[in-house]
Amino acid sequence: MDAQGQTRALFGNPQTGPFFVMDAEPGDVLAIHIKRLRLNRDYADSLDSIVGRAQTPALAAKATALDKPVRWTLDRQRGRARPEAATGKLKDFWVPVRPMLGGLAVAPGFGNAPISTGDTGRFGGNMDFNEIREGATVYLPVSQPGALLYLGDAHALQGDGETSQYALETSMDVEFSVDVIKSRAQSAPRVESATQVMVLGQAGSLDDALRAATAGMAQWLEQDYGLSLSETAQVLGSSVSFVVANLAGRSVGVAAKLDKALLRRVERAPGSTPGARP
Q: Is 229 in the site for a second copy (CB under 8 A)?
A: yes
Examine residue 180 and tell whether it contacts a second copy (CB under 8 A): no
| Separation of CA 103 from chain center | 7
266 binds a second copy (CB under 8 A): yes
Calpha distance 137→32 (Å, rounded):
5
Least distance between a second copy and beta carbon 49 (Å): 6
Number of residues that bind a second copy (CB under 8 A): 94
CA 162 to chain centroid, in Å, comes to 11
Asked if 270 interacts with a second copy (CB under 8 A), we say no
What is the H or E stretch that residue 34 is in? strand 29-39
74 binds a second copy (CB under 8 A): no
Site membership for a second copy, residue 194 (CB under 8 A): no
Per-residue contact string for residues 40-59; x = within reach of a second copy by CB under 8 A: ------xxxxx-xxxxxxxx
- Asked if residue 254 binds a second copy (CB under 8 A), the reply is yes
Out of 193, 214, 220, 224, the only residue in the binding site for a second copy (CB under 8 A) is 214
The rounded distance, in Å, linking the Cα atoms of 105 and 129 is: 13
Name which position in 27, 69, 135, 204 contacts a second copy (CB under 8 A).
204
- Indicate whether 61 belongs to the interface with a second copy (CB under 8 A): yes
Minimum distance from residue 140 beta carbon to a second copy (Å): 19
Which of 115, 133, 180, 273 forms a contact with a second copy (CB under 8 A)? Answer: 115
Which residue type occupies 190? R
Q: Which is nearer to a second copy, 22 or 58 (CB)?
A: 58
Distances, alpha carbon 152 to alpha carbons 89, 143, 173, 257, in Å: 33, 20, 10, 24
Interface with a second copy, residue 85, by CB under 8 A = no
Rounded Cα gap, residues 164 and 160, in angstroms: 10
Q: How many degrees, rounded to 5, is the angle at CA 109 between CA 108 and CA 114?
A: 50
Cα distances (Å, whole numbers) of residue 41 to 3, 88, 171: 5, 26, 6
CB of 23 to a second copy, least distance (A): 28
